[in-house]
């Protein structure tokens, strides 16, 4: 597909009945533009090359989703979103996953990141709902200033499985009522600020031990359990907060739909299930907004069918927008996408897809675009001052401090001239906590090592001179491949990060031992017999604005030095053995 010689001005689309079927199908697609090959190999898209511009004009999708690779600075992000709206209609949807905590896309050094859902849930009762609404409002203000009008939040997954590899701290916890309450407040703050939200991942990805990015999880709850736990937050928030969108989950849920993918014994994923999309979400829960899939290039879907098959099946199920139907990496990708559109149009002509449903779907998409249209040229100037402003940074700091939880044991404040040794998952985390500790108390002596480049002999030498041993645990853990020198610990049953950390805690000389659960708190009970105290921060991001230590690290330093109490409460139930 070659770019034209002259600029193509996008035509506004306002009424579904006036559009061609090709235009309708195009509007039911949302593309990623993470990287693109203009002839010299794929590079991150931080400005639109001509071939990509032309491809977007030809397909005319409802919008695009941006990732971390697309975003380098405030000015660059604003320029990119402006370029997108120069080749697509001005009310085009530009989306992002800016959850906070483990899932952030905006550069942390120049924007407010927040600590994520589980940290919000850990804040004191009576305050956390207000904080959740304020986070939504702050996210809306910063995203609008960047030209982004959809944030795929909040996650309403009730994290029931401690071994869940993909949700974890992205959830508000394991209490459906708390998940609904906090999710409703965050969504309200976001949408009242002019940015569309999306409840995810319907009908609930919390009771899974597999990651749908790499497999197709199956939820084994009964139908009654599904309504009492997983579906309860969606039902309540839909009724109370008028969400603009709902995002599907690539999961099997046989209690809600036990039909199988043709020719297999695999239950139809929720994304492709008409029983769940129409019968449950539309009819039973009375949701009248836009339904969007999770990314269709995830292996839960892509390993089982072609992109075209996946798109046709999700449209037949009642989904409005297919997110990332195939990878857009070159002009050839747009040729494939054009063929997909043509096949979908043929499916309408043959009756495989219902034209009335397709046009009704497009009507919902056009209404979404209109409702959350960005500021137009000539209107009130975009307010850059809201991005990482003092008010938002103060909110970020309050959540980090109020959520910090003493899971078990008793914490003895570090002495003014204490000698401390840190063992952290990565070098960035080690340097961030060291910097935070020294900012709080410059008289401390702080040595450190990371699991990324570990040396057992050096660790023993440092511990021999330390008075306190602080061990950071990141769950899900980094790969054991990153442990490097851990082969020195020949007495260990394995060289996983957890085994290394536990063995060193056992071998350490008499001193105060503190374990810090940087992300998921679920494995805290395994460390309790080895330590004096276990803390949970729910946020392992080392970097904050302007390269400072992340707010969770500053909060940890204050608690460890006795300048702050750990006032957070666990929003999940811990067991002595991880399921």
Active site residues: 294
Question: Per the structure block, which two tokens stand in for 322?
Answer: 């297919």
Pairing state between β 468-473 and 454-455: unpaired
- Separation of alpha carbons 131 and 148, rounded Å: 22
Question: 205 burial class (0-12, 13-18, 19+ CB within 10 angstroms)?
Answer: buried
Angle at 483 between CA 481 and CA 489, to 5 degrees: 120
DSSP for 57-124? Answer: HHH--SEEE--GGG-SSHHHHHHHHHHHHHHS-TT-EEEE---BTTB--S-TTTS-----HHHHHHSP
Residue 92 CA from chain centroid, whole number: 22
What ranges in 465-550 are assigned the alpha helix state H?
497-507, 524-527
In the block, tokens 């009964």 appear at 222
Under 8 Å between Cβ of 495 and 462 = no
Provide the residue count of the chain.
579
What b/e string do you get for 311-326 counting C-beta neighbours within 10 Å, with b at 16 or more? Answer: bbbbbbbbbbbbbbbb
Question: 122 burial class (0-12, 13-18, 19+ CB within 10 angstroms)?
Answer: buried
DSSP three-state, residue 202: strand
**C-alpha R_g of the chain:** 25
Residue 514 DSSP class:
E
DSSP three-state, residue 365: helix
Question: Could you tell me which of 135, 105, 239, 191 has the C-alpha nearest to residue 372?
Answer: 191
- Separation of alpha carbons 218 and 578, rounded Å: 19
């Amino acid at each position: 597909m070659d770019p034209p010689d002259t600029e193509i001005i996008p035509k506004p689309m306002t009424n579904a009945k006036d559009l061609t079927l090709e235009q309708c199908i195009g509007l039911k697609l949302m593309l990623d533009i993470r990287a693109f090959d203009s002839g010299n190999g794929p590079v991150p898209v931080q400005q639109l090359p001509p071939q990509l511009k032309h491809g977007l004009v030809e397909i005319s999708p409802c919008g695009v989703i941006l990732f971390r690779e697309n975003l380098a600075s405030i000015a660059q992000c604003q320029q990119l979103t402006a370029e997108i709206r120069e080749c697509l209609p001005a009310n085009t949807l530009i989306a992002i996953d800016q959850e906070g905590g483990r899932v952030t896309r905006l550069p942390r050094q120049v924007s407010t990141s927040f600590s994520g859902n589980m940290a919000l849930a850990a804040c004191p009762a009576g305050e956390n709902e207000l904080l959740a609404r304020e986070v939504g409002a702050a996210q809306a203000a910063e995203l609008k200033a960047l030209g982004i009008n959809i944030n795929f939040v909040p996650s309403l997954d009730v994290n029931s499985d401690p071994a869940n590899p993909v949700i974890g701290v992205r959830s508000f916890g394991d209490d459906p009522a708390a998940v609904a309450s906090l999710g409703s407040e965050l969504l309200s703050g976001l949408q009242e600020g002019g940015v569309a939200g999306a409840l995810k991942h319907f009908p609930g990805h919390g009771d899974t031990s597999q990651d749908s990015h790499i497999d197709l999880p199956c939820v084994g709850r009964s139908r009654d359990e599904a309504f009492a736990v997983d579906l309860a937050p969606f039902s309540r928030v839909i009724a109370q907060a008028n969400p603009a969108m709902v995002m599907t989950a690539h999961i099997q849920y046989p209690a809600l739909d036990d039909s199988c993918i043709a020719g297999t014994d695999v239950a139809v994923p929720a994304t492709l299930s008409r029983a769940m999309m129409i019968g449950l979400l539309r009819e039973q829960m009375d949701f009248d907004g836009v339904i969007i899939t999770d990314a269709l290039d995830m292996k839960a879907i892509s390993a089982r069918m072609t992109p075209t098959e996946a798109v046709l099946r999700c449209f037949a199920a009642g989904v409005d927008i297919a997110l990332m139907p195939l990878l857009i990496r070159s002009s050839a990708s747009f040729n494939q996408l054009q063929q997909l559109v043509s096949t979908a149009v043929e499916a309408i002509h043959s009756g495989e897809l219902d034209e009335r449903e397709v046009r009704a779907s497009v009507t919902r998409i056009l209404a979404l675009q209109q409702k959350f249209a960005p500021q137009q040229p000539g209107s009130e100037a975009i307010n850059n001052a809201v991005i990482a402003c003092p008010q938002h940074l103060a909110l970020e700091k309050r959540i980090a401090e109020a959520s910090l939880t003493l899971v078990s044991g008793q914490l003895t404040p570090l002495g003014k001239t204490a000698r401390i040794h840190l063992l952290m998952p990565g070098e960035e985390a080690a340097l961030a906590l060291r910097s935070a500790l020294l900012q709080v108390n410059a008289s401390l002596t702080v040595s450190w090592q990371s699991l990324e480049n570990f040396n057992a002999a050096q660790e023993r030498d440092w511990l021999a001179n330390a008075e306190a041993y602080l061990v950071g645990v990141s769950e899900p853990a980094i790969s054991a491949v990153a442990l490097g020198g851990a082969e020195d610990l020949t007495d260990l049953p394995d060289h996983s990060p957890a085994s290394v950390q536990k063995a060193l805690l056992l071998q350490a000389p008499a001193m105060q031992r503190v374990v810090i659960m940087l992300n998921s708190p679920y494995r805290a009970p395994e460390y309790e017999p080895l330590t004096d105290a276990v803390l949970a921060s729910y946020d392992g991001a080392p970097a904050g604005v302007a390269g400072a230590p992340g707010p969770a690290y500053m909060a940890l330093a204050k608690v460890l030095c006795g300048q702050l109490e750990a006032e957070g409460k666990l929003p999940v139930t811990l067991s002595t053995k991880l399921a």
